[in-house]
Amino acid sequence: MRNPHAGEPFATSDEEIAAALLDVSIPTLMLSLVHMAGDPEIIRGRLKPDGLFLNEVQGYMSEEDKAEVRTLALDVIRDYRDRGCPEPEPISAALLHEMMAWLVCEEVPDEYVPMLLEEMELDGTDARRVSVPIDAAARDAFPVVVIGCGQSGLLAGIRLKEAGIPFTIIEKNAGVGGTWWENSYPGARVDVGNHFYCYSFEPSDQWTEFFAQQPELQAYFEGVMTKHGITPHVRWETEVLGAAWDDAAGTWSVRVRAADGSEDTVVGRAVISAVGQLNRPHTPEIAGQDSFVGPAFHSARWDHTVDLAGKRVAMIGAGASGFQIAPTIAPDVARLTVFQRTAQWMFPNPNYHETVGPGVRWALRHLPFYGRWYRFLIFWPGCDKGLEAARVDPDYPDQQTAVSEMNELTRQMFTDWIVSQVDDDPDLIAKVVPDYPATGKRTLQDNGSWLRTLTRDNVDLIRSGIEHIESDAVVTVDGERYPADVVVYATGFHVTRILWPMEITGRDGVDLRTKWGERPAAYLGITVPEFPNFFCMYGPGTNLAHGGSLIFHSECQMRYITQCIEELVASGHRAMEPRQEKCDDWHERSQRELKTLVWSQPSIKHSFFKNANGEIHGLSPWRLVDYWTWTKAPDFGDFVIR
Ligand code: NAP
């Protein structure tokens, strides 16, 4: 069988190929040429990229050099086509490593190579798929309940199906996608490049934008779900209220409530929680908010029946969601008043709204391994570099606005980006330049649309606190009254209340929320002592603020979980839970590490990373390569297995 990443054979004309080459990433193209021609000399000459930049689209080479590559490429591709598009010969490990380093213009340390090769699947093997031969009757006797059908719950279903483990996914919404189902607000789009923000084993050559919008993301997950036959396993519009472990039976009883209000119980031998961390909308309590007579809704509960055209809209909160909503609705509304408590740092990304040209889509479909190398190219800049950039230098003076020399350089770079856009408006500059260290909160991707919006005549940015809301206005602490017809709460989620509001009861009646209190902890972010056969995806300590993608983390977690379940099934054991000391050690080390990173800085007053005590328990302070290594295979010595 042909390697699925070797590209579909084609008979495209020379003219069409030449046109496609105008769109593509030239450095990525050159690596595909190496595969097609079987000739490494293609990358050993003068033609090479000048540097590595985040969110590369076309490649950093002079226009003359790009033109030269296109001429060479046309010859190689024409020859490959005329030979019938044969599957390229495998390439040696040494050459693959050389190609990696060449593409990103720097050494790629040896320890990263196995992880990257696995991510790229150049050999056509999905190494994160786990399936060991186990007696079918034993598998059938081990049903698993998955909570949630977002990106991680869908992945859980796919992997369980591949392993032949029976499962039911319980999903409170009417469709797949989780975040990408619920957040349908105007302008919702992902800010991790989509050719990486998709399952490693399910690349798509159909993205129409490099950072796709919500409908396209939801459609992607829908397509993957259908392709893998997961739909019949899902109970839609059914919410999990809680789950209780029966130690004698070795089962979880999962209490669910259907859309009609009826409740029943689903029994499984294991539970996988895939509910995400950013799912339960947070609407702050503001005096008088119930007296507001017009429509008022949260960004994740967008009311599409409300026509905003010609309305005065008050948007409370301007984090990642508000940052996308404002530029999208501003042209239509009569007036938009944005109430922002904390200014946000934003990363200059001119390609943020860029569309994917037809040439790129053609290359993704037909040129051998083009999509795989492009995936690596956009993965690599976010692969652990951000973690070192987030490290606090304890000797760095005045940690209020920067925590290290590198962090100060980032602050200056981000500030220049802001100032360059509104340098004639010192009042606005004073409002929009953050007063805390760069990358201390989640950094937003920006192509200039935010500040362009704020400079519109019909948009105001208010940094004063809100005092109360009246029937038709928002009133700030300085007594200003801002009339409004609609209030949008873009105020984020209950992020620190992990797994809330579900009631999870483990061995000996232990309640998970009581056990965790303000300090949720799971071993590797996945398993919890006293909660046998309970597995978390995107659990405590696994959110990513320094790079990578949650899909990458989910794939690591689900490989680990599948192996745990298979071990239980194969061995006939009833239950496994991590040793308490293992979990404590993991949590303590994570806490120590987090305190060395910028997100913990006390000068950051409001951050959804922090709980009420200023502690961080949701984020991972670890390198992706470490997490990948630790989750590659469970060490069953870490568990009490009964
Ligand atoms: P968020 O980042 O938590 O932003 C919430 C906003 O509401 C902030 O401006 C916050 O101010 C404000 N706020 C909260 N409580 C408030 C209160 N009591 N009074 C006044 N203001 C208040 O939430 P989000 O914008 O929904 O984004 C959440 C996360 O979802 C993101 O960080 C990201 O991980 C994800 N997301 C991603 C994308 C994307 O991929 N492009 C898009 C949307 C969301 P403070 O800053 O002062 O707390």
pLDDT at 53: 81
What is d(CA 45, CA 323) in angstroms, rounded to the nearest whole number? 44
Task: Judge whether 62 and 26 are in contact, CB under 8 Å.
Answer: no
Beta strands in 355-449 (DSSP E): 444-446
Look-up: residue for tokens 């009246």?
Answer: 470
Ligand 1 atom with minimal separation from the 190 CA = 40
Ligand 1, pocket-test mutation among 608, 609, 619, most atoms within 8 A of CB: 608
The residues with which 468 forms a beta bridge, in sequence order, are 475
- What is the distance in A from the centroid of ligand 1 to the CA of 492? 4
Collapsed DSSP state (helix, strand, coil) of residue 246: strand
Give pLDDT, residue 103: 97
Is 0.85 topped by the overall pTM?
A: yes
- The answer, yes or no, to whether any atom of ligand 1 lies below 6 A from the CB of 314, is no
Q: Which residues of the chain have pLDDT under 70?
A: none
pLDDT of residue 59: 83
User: Residue 43: its pLDDT value, please?
Assistant: 98
Cβ–Cβ under 8 Å, residues 467 and 373? no
- Closest alpha carbon to 516 in 533, 504, 532, 534: 504
| Ligand 1 atom with minimal separation from the 323 CA | 25
From the alpha carbon of 442, which atom of ligand 1 is closest? 32
Q: Is residue 301 within 6 Å of ligand 1 at its C-beta?
A: no
By alpha-carbon position, which residue is closest to atom 18 of ligand 1? 284
d(CA 24, CA 30): 10
What integer pLDDT is reported at residue 246 of this predicted model?
98
Q: Does ligand 1 come within 6 angstroms of the Cβ of 190?
A: yes
Separation in Å, CA 422 to CA 67, 319, 350, 438, 635: 36, 20, 16, 19, 55
Length, in residues, of the chain: 642
Q: What pLDDT score does 641 carry?
A: 97
Residue 14 contacts residue 78 (beta carbons within 8 Å): yes
Q: Does an H or E element contain 267, and which?
A: strand 263-268
Neighbours of 89 (CB within 10 A): 8
- Residues in a beta bridge with 412: none
Does 341 sit in the ligand 1 pocket, CB within 6 Å?
yes
Question: Using CB atoms within 10 A of its CB, is residue 376 exposed (0-12), middle (13-18) or buried (19+)?
Answer: buried
Atom of ligand 1 nearest to the CA of 492: 23
Token pair, residue 235, equals 């109970």
Distance between Cα 340 and ligand 1 center (Å)? 10
Tokens (6 digits) for 194: 């989509």
Alpha helices in 22-142, H assignment, sequence order: 26-37, 63-82, 93-104, 113-120, 136-140
Strand partners, 298: 489
Q: Cα(339)–Cα(337) distance, rounded to whole angstroms?
A: 6
Query: Do residues 246 and 265 touch, judged by C-beta distance below 8 A?
Result: no
Query: Which of 354, 556, 356 lies closest to 447, judged by CA?
Result: 354
pLDDT tens, 514-546? 999 999 999 999 999 999 999 999 999 999 999
Tell the residue number behind the tokens 């339960």, with chain if given: 280
Q: Which residues pair with 168 in a beta bridge?
A: 145
Question: Cβ(491) to ligand 1 under 6 A?
Answer: yes
- Please work out whether the CB of residue 32 comes within 6 Å of at least one atom of ligand 1: no
Cis peptide bond upstream of 501, omega within 30: yes
CB-CB contact of 120 with 376 (8 Å): yes
Q: What share of the chain is helix, strand, coil (3-state, %, to 5)?
A: 35, 15, 45
**How many Cβ atoms sit within 10 Å of the Cβ of residue 621?**
23
Three-state SS string over 132-194 comes to: CCCCHHHHHCCCEEEECCCHHHHHHHHHHHHHCCCEEEECCCCCCCCHHHHCCCCCCECCCCC
Rg (CA), the chain: 26
Q: Is the minimum distance from the CB of 184 to ligand 1 under 6 angstroms?
A: no
Give the chain's domains with CATH numbers: 14-108+360-382 (no CATH), 136-280+495-641 (3.50.50.60), 289-345+401-489 (3.50.50.60)
Question: How crowded is the C-beta side of 313, counted as CA atoms within 13 Å?
Answer: 29
pLDDT for 180: 98
Ligand 1 atom index nearest CA of 320? 25
Q: Is the CB–ligand 1 distance for residue 130 below 6 Å? A: no
Distances (CA, A) of 45 to 30, 39, 42, 102: 11, 12, 7, 11
Which of 194, 285, 321, 435 should be mutated for ligand 1, with most atoms under 8 A from CB? 321
Distance of CA 4 to the CA centre of its chain: 25
Task: Return the residue whose CA atom lies nearest to atom 36 of ligand 1.
Answer: 320
Alpha-carbon span 157 to 274, nearest angstrom = 10
Q: What are phi and psi of 97, to 5 degrees?
A: -65, -40
CA angle 227, 233, 237 (to 5 degrees): 110
> Please, what's the largest Cα pairwise distance for the chain?
76
Kind and range of the H or E run holding 419: helix 405-421
- Dist CA 130 CA 221 (whole Å): 21
Residues 6 or more apart whose Cβ sits within 8 Å of residue 450:
323, 326, 327, 346, 444
